[in-house]
Amino acid sequence: MTSLKASVSPHIRGSRTTHRIMLDVIIALMPTLVASVILFGFRALLLTAISAAACVAFEYIWEKLMKKPITVADLSAVVTGILIAFNVPASMPIWELLVGDLVAIVAVKMLFGGIGCNFVNPALVGRVVMFLSFTADMTNYSYPAAAVDALSSATPLALIASGSIGWEHFMDILCGVHGGVLGETCALTLITGGLYLCAREVIKPIIPLAYIGSTLLFSWIFGSPDPVLSIFSGGLMLGAIYMATDYVTTPFTNLGKLIFGLGCGLLTSLMRVFANSAGAVSFSILLMNLVVPYINELTMPKPFGGVTEK
């Protein structure tokens, strides 16, 4: 008779799980992976697979060594791995990519306590470390065979900044038929994945909209030659939709998310217009990651009926 279980209410739970959320992010990234393989060839798939596998392996090995519960089944390492691969060009040497994975998983994620405990986005730190360590390889962009002449040398961001391309190449830019890293060029599939994530309520559209919208606005204010084209190029779509929406390193509340998105947009425009455009998105998001605790504190929701003690 005493075989009944006792536990604190509630006795039912919703269907959302961390695993399902991560799986949705992976699903959302798939169209972009397909686009990347079409644009940059088989090596895009190879690098992505290696990066994802490496991230899972690093997490697993770390947890084994530290005698901690194995958490790789939550798929968050797979997401990190795909995102890191999406941030390198097709010609990236594999060992350099592995360095990025190692930094992201071990130094940024696991050393701080694993999922939920990192204060900056692991994939972005991985990217920045690779960018600073292997600058030449990280900017040795591949160019899709199908790219028109104008788009077959520098990245569109650089071209727009110098005023050498314009709207006649809009469709090429939208579809990603230009130079860049694996996962950033095809704005079309990135947006499609973002819509899927919003529909699945994995992310709210606030941060991407605030980020992209404010980048547009501030770029125009700061005198960018073509602010509209510039939001479709470079790492902005990938960053705004998939990196700036990482739960752990972004604010809780809608107001907090808005502030975060606007801050990212301001920093990105400043860097793009007045400094080097490469890496602007990564550095902007990382800088904003650092102020998230303060944003959370400032935008703490007002408890219903709460009375402040005098």
Partner 1 sequence: MHLPKLHGAHVPHRKNTAGMRPERMPTPKMVSIPMSMHIGAPAEPLVKPGDQVKVGQLIAKAGGFVSSPVHASVSGKVKRIDDVLSGMGRFMKAIVIEADPEQETLEGLAPPVVTDYQSFVDAVRESGVVGLGGAGFPTAVKLSVKDLSKVEAVIINGAECEPYVTSDTRTMLDDGDLIFEGIELLKKYMQVKRVVIGIEKNKPQCVAEMQSRAAKTQGVEVMALPALYPQGGEKVLIYNTIGRVVPEGKLPLDAGAIVLNCTTLAAIARYIKTGMPLVEKVVTVDGSAVREPKNVIAPIGTPVSDLFEFCGGFKSEPKKVLYGGPMMGIAMPDLSCPVMKNTNAVLAFDERDATLPEPTACIRCGSCVDACPLNLMPTEIESAYEKRDVERLKKLKANLCMECGCCAYACPAKRMLVQTNKLAKGLLAADAAAKRAEAERKEKEKARKEAAK
The torsion angles phi and psi of 142, rounded to 5 degrees, stand at -90, 155
Distance in angstroms (rounded) separating the CA atoms of residues 306 and 221: 42
**CA neighbours closer than 13 Å in the CB half-sphere of residue 68:** 14
305 counts as binding partner 1 under rule CB under 8 A: yes
Q: In 3D, which of 239, 175, 196, 232 has the Cα closest to residue 35?
A: 175
12 counts as binding partner 1 under rule CB under 8 A: yes
DSSP code of residue 180: B
DSSP code of residue 276: -
Site for partner 1 in 109-168 (CB under 8 A): 113-117
65 counts as binding partner 1 under rule CB under 8 A: no
- State which of residues 43, 253, 270, 287 lies at the interface with partner 1 (CB under 8 A): 253
- State which of residues 42, 95, 274, 304 lies at the interface with partner 1 (CB under 8 A): 304
Site for partner 1 in 189-248 (CB under 8 A): 247-248
Closer of 59 and 184 to partner 1 (Cβ):
59
Stretch in the footprint of partner 1 (CB under 8 A) among 2-10, 78-86, 206-214, 262-270 = 2-10
Interface size with partner 1, residues (CB under 8 A): 40
How far apart, in Å, are the Cα atoms of 141 and each of 72, 88, 98, 285?
32, 8, 18, 22
- State which of residues 26, 38, 53, 71 lies at the interface with partner 1 (CB under 8 A): 71
Least distance in angstroms from the C-beta of 296 to partner 1: 8
Distance in angstroms (rounded) separating the CA atoms of residues 120 and 278: 19
Distance in angstroms (rounded) separating the CA atoms of residues 179 and 176: 8
Stretch in the footprint of partner 1 (CB under 8 A) among 6-14, 48-56, 143-151, 258-266 = 6-14
The torsion angles phi and psi of 285, rounded to 5 degrees, stand at -65, -40
Footprint of partner 1 on this chain (CB under 8 A)? Answer: 1-14, 16-18, 20-21, 71, 74, 76, 113-117, 247-248, 252-253, 300-307, 309
